[in-house]
Amino acid sequence: MHSFGYRANALLTFAVTILALMCTIGSLSDNLNTPSPSAQIEILNINWFQKQPHGNDEVSLTLNITADLQSLFTWNTKQLFIFVAAEYETPKNALNQVSLWDAIIPAKEFAKFSIHTSNKYRFIDQGHSLRGKEFNLTLHWHVMPKTGKMFANKIVMSGYRLPEDYR
Amino acid sequence: MGWIGESIESIKSLQIRQVLTQGVSLGMIVTSALIIWKALMCITGSESPVVVVLSGSMEPGFKRGDILFLHMSKDPIRAGEIVVFNVDGREIPIVHRVIKVHERQDTGEVEVLTKGDNNYGDDRLLYAQGQLWLKRQHIMGRAVGFLPYVGWVTIIMTEKPIIKYILIGALGLLVITSKD
């Protein structure tokens, strides 16, 4: 009855149960946090805007991104993955989301920042309907936990417009 | 040593009825594991509800040996989601982040482009030759939960099969020799 194997088994089962319980509680505690992130994105310059040889529009932007995401961090947060995407509608596509820039924020002290950058990924349309196009810029964040459930959300900023002509 | 001796003793003293009972209880363990797996498949809607991260392409978010829980709902796929996808001609599914989405006006079909957080460029090099976009049918699920390190068990077992056989053997022996 109280053999070595029996005791080892009981101990292991108990340890794993407690660990699983702690992970669950840690993940659930994320729900107690009510974050209040803020962000502004400004388009400083349209570097160039042209039609590629095979017909897709491509534009290069310079952005100024200011954000305060400190309130997203909890004790269960490993890192924050953030990215800025352009979102717009065209006659061909009901929704286009094109990621322009992204970053990993490893700790709370880096979560309040202001950065001046041109788009890291190419802003290419599927087609050639970017001229004079109104679009939204959205700052998305993805909270990657030490363990448990992942959270994601975004701030949508609207009212941006591309020029009427290629340049 | 007394423990091993005892075990051998108990194997020797097995009777046919006892063997049958042990066989049934072993079968119960195997089938209940299968039931749990299939139930998870039904709940999450994904053909593999749990995946192990095998590469470092999503570091530092996901490291090799971490476990991801997948969910496959009818919700449309959006930029920023971490999806698990299969590429034609590749056996091992890939876990990467969606960076571009184009959803058709008329059919509602989506075309997405993915990239690993730790990779320099996007995934077009990993896709089948000439493939520019992933479609809905390539995607097996999106990652919703994360558990570190646990996947090492399966990585070790697939890379060192001997350990797997030793483990199965030891567990089998334990079941056969256990006295209720």
Span B159-176, pLDDT tens digits: 888 988 998 888 778 777
- Confirm whether B123 is a catalytic residue: yes
The residues, any chain, with a CB within 8 Å of residue B111's CB and separated by 6 or more, are A126, B101, B102, B103, B104, B132, B133, B134, B135
Nearest CA in chain B to A88: B102
How would residue B179 be classed by pLDDT, with cut points 50, 70 and 90? low
The mean pLDDT value for B12-39 works out to 85
Residue A102's SS3 state is strand
Q: What is the residue extent of each domain of chain A?
A: 1-32, 35-161
Q: At what angle do helices B2-12 and B161-177 cross, to 10 degrees?
A: 70
Helices and strands: H and E segment counts in chain B: 4, 6
Residue A31's SS3 state is helix
Which helix (H) or strand (E) segment is B6 a member of? Answer: helix B2-12
Q: Which amino acid is at A38?
A: S
Tokens 């459930």 — which residue? A149
Q: What is the pTM of this model?
A: 0.82
Please state, in angstroms and as integers, the Cα–Cα distance from residue A17 to each residue in A2, A11, B103, following that order. Answer: 21, 10, 44
Q: Residue A165 has what pLDDT?
A: 86
B60 and A78 within 8 Å at the Cβ level: the answer is yes
Q: Residue B31 has what pLDDT?
A: 94
Regarding predicted confidence, which is higher, A155 or B22?
A: A155
B80 and A96 within 8 Å at the Cβ level: the answer is no
B69 CA to chain A: closest CA distance, Å? Answer: 9
Chain A residues whose CB is inside 8 A of the B82 CB are: 142, 150
One pLDDT digit (tens) per residue for chain A, 167 residues:
578 878 888 999 999 999 999 999 999 999 898 889 999 999 999 998 998 888 889 999 999 999 999 999 999 999 999 999 999 999 989 999 999 999 999 999 999 999 999 999 999 998 888 888 899 999 999 999 999 999 999 999 988 888 888 88
B176 CA to chain A: closest CA distance, Å? Answer: 13
The number of residues in chain A equals 167
Please give the structure tokens belonging to residue B87. Answer: 């590429």
In whole angstroms, give the CA distance from residue A97 to residue A89.
Answer: 9
Chain A residues whose CB is inside 8 A of the B80 CB are: 81, 83, 85, 99, 140, 142, 152, 154
Nearest CA-CA partner of B151 in B78, B26, B75, B55 = B55
Q: Residue B178 has what pLDDT?
A: 66
**Adjacent-strand bridge partners of B70:** B143
Regarding predicted confidence, which is higher, A103 or B178?
A: A103
Residue ranges and CATH numbers for the domains of chain B are: 2-44+162-177 (no CATH), 50-149 (2.10.109.10)
Q: Is B176 on the interface with A (CB under 8 A)?
A: no
A97 and B148 within 8 Å at the Cβ level: the answer is no
How would residue B108 be classed by pLDDT, with cut points 50, 70 and 90? confident
Tens of pLDDT along B112-171?
Answer: 999 998 888 888 888 888 888 999 888 888 899 899 998 888 888 888 889 889 988 887
Please state, in angstroms and as integers, the Cα–Cα distance from residue B136 to each residue in B112, B141, B176, following that order. Answer: 9, 10, 47
From B46, B57, B66, B138, active-site residue: B57
The mean pLDDT value for B8-20 works out to 74
Q: Residue B6 has what pLDDT?
A: 76
The residues, any chain, with a CB within 8 Å of residue A38's CB and separated by 6 or more, are A67, A68, A155
Tokens 């936990």 — which residue? A145
Q: Residue B47 has what pLDDT?
A: 80
Q: Residue A97 has what pLDDT?
A: 93
Nearest CA in chain B to A143: B61
Rg (CA), chain B: 22
Angle, CA A26 vertex, CA A104 and CA B64 arms, to 5°: 50
| CATH for A35-161 (3.30.70, 2.60.40, 3.40.720, 3.30.2420) | 2.60.40
Please give the structure tokens belonging to residue A38. Answer: 């803020």
B61 and A98 within 8 Å at the Cβ level: the answer is no
- Is residue B180 scored above 60 in pLDDT? no
Rg (CA), chain A: 23
In whole angstroms, give the CA distance from residue A24 to residue B31.
Answer: 26
